[in-house]
Amino acid sequence: MLTYEPELTDARDDGALTPATAARLIAMQRREVFSLFAEVRTLAWIGAMLVAAGVGVLISNHIKEIGPLTIAIVLAAAAAGCYAWAWMRRERASLVDDSILLLGAMLVSADAGWIESQWHIAGTNSLIILAIIHAGGAYRYKSRALLSLAIGALAGWLGIDRRIDIVFSRDADLAFRAFICAAILLLWREADRRTRAKSEFTPVFDHAAVTLAFIGALILTANSETRTFGLLVTLVLACASAYYAFRSNVEEFLLYAILYATLAVDSAVWGLDDVVKSLICFLTAIVAVAGLMIAHRRFRRPTS
């Protein structure tokens, strides 16, 4: 097993590291101490999801006994309680506190959806109102999770839902709405970058904008009237995403380039003869797997 314990020991003996720092790093190399950050974050997120789902089940089972107005008030009160907790803990927030904040935001979304379904106050504009509320909360609490909810609400307002089969839609208008949403996010990202010296939201904007742009390109590729144009746009986006991956040293963007380009090629040849289609899909799968393996090895190597 690869270990840097000898180097750390030499650095300690030479005085480059303090004994306390060296002991901590050596313990990490020996696996005597390890981080549970990812596990705790996952469990906290699952807990927030389960509570939100439980609220939905409770409402659906007791809607007649509780009444629509009472449900709206209770949801608002519960969301306010979550936000109040997050506010009180803002100076020493933990993963659990972040999940409580996320739960509060989801309760706000649920309450807005419930009010709209019962009284039809704002129509589809309720989504842009939610986007503004969640964006404000994201900046106030510096929460990427709330920013993701804001982006989701913005996409929903533009008519882009979260169905898994959306990339196989043939609605060209939906594709252009995806491009518009991606452009808005890029402008938002630039404004955020210019107004704040160091923004923790840049990766969220990058991933969301790239995903939406690729979705729009794949929708065009699935449409027989815009197939060639959609394939060209997808390949251009794939090249741009790969370039950004190497420039920023972020592997995920190279994965986007490989996977979405493969999907676009397979979608473009789907109407051909079965033998030709199967051969092309087989070849693209081999190229994609090879590309993923090479990319993973490339990004695992430390860069100087």
Beta carbons of 86 and 40 less than 8 angstroms apart:
no
Range of the domain at 54: 44-157
pLDDT over 70 percentage in the chain: 89
71 and 152 in a single domain? The answer is yes
149 and 218 in a single domain? The answer is no
Question: Does 228 or 41 have the greater pLDDT score?
Answer: 228
Task: Give domain status of residue 150, yes or no.
Answer: yes
- Token reading at 51: 């509570």
Distance between CA atoms of 1 and 105, rounded to whole angstroms?
A: 44
218 and 151 in a single domain? The answer is no
Task: Give domain status of residue 241, yes or no.
Answer: yes
Please, what is the Cα angle at 262 between 259 and 268, to 5 degrees? Answer: 140
301 and 241 in a single domain? The answer is yes
Residue 168 pLDDT greater than 90, yes or no:
no
Task: Give domain status of residue 230, yes or no.
Answer: yes
Distance between CA atoms of 104 and 80, rounded to whole angstroms?
A: 7
180 and 218 in a single domain? The answer is yes
Q: In this predicted model, what pLDDT tens digit does every residue of 67-82 receive, in sequence order?
A: 888 888 988 998 999 9
86 and 5 in a single domain? The answer is no
Buried b (16+ CB within 10 A) or exposed e, 18-42: eeeebeebbeebeeeeeeeeeeeee
117 and 60 in a single domain? The answer is yes
Domain boundary among 157, 187, 210: 157
Task: Give domain status of residue 104, yes or no.
Answer: yes
DSSP state, residue 16: S
Beta carbons of 237 and 214 less than 8 angstroms apart:
yes
Query: What is the predicted pLDDT for the residue at 32?
Result: 62
- Token reading at 250: 């972020």
Task: Give domain status of residue 167, yes or no.
Answer: no
Query: What is the predicted pLDDT for the residue at 41?
Result: 62
193 and 253 in a single domain? The answer is yes
Task: Give domain status of residue 97, yes or no.
Answer: yes
Task: Give domain status of residue 39, yes or no.
Answer: no
Largest CA distance in the chain: 74
91 and 152 in a single domain? The answer is yes
Q: In this predicted model, what pLDDT tens digit does every residue of 43-68 receive, in sequence order?
A: 766 777 787 777 777 777 777 777 88
The pTM for the full model equals 0.81
Distance between CA atoms of 164 and 237, rounded to whole angstroms?
A: 21
71 and 145 in a single domain? The answer is yes
Query: What is the predicted pLDDT for the residue at 31?
Result: 67
> Which among 175, 157, 164 has a CA at the least distance from the CA of 234?
175
> Which among 183, 136, 133 has a CA at the least distance from the CA of 155?
183
Domain boundary among 129, 157, 185: 157
Task: Give domain status of residue 201, yes or no.
Answer: yes
**Cβ neighbours around 70 below 10 Å, total:** 11
133 and 226 in a single domain? The answer is no
7 and 81 in a single domain? The answer is no
How many domains does the structure of the chain reveal? 3
Domain boundary among 157, 185, 213: 157
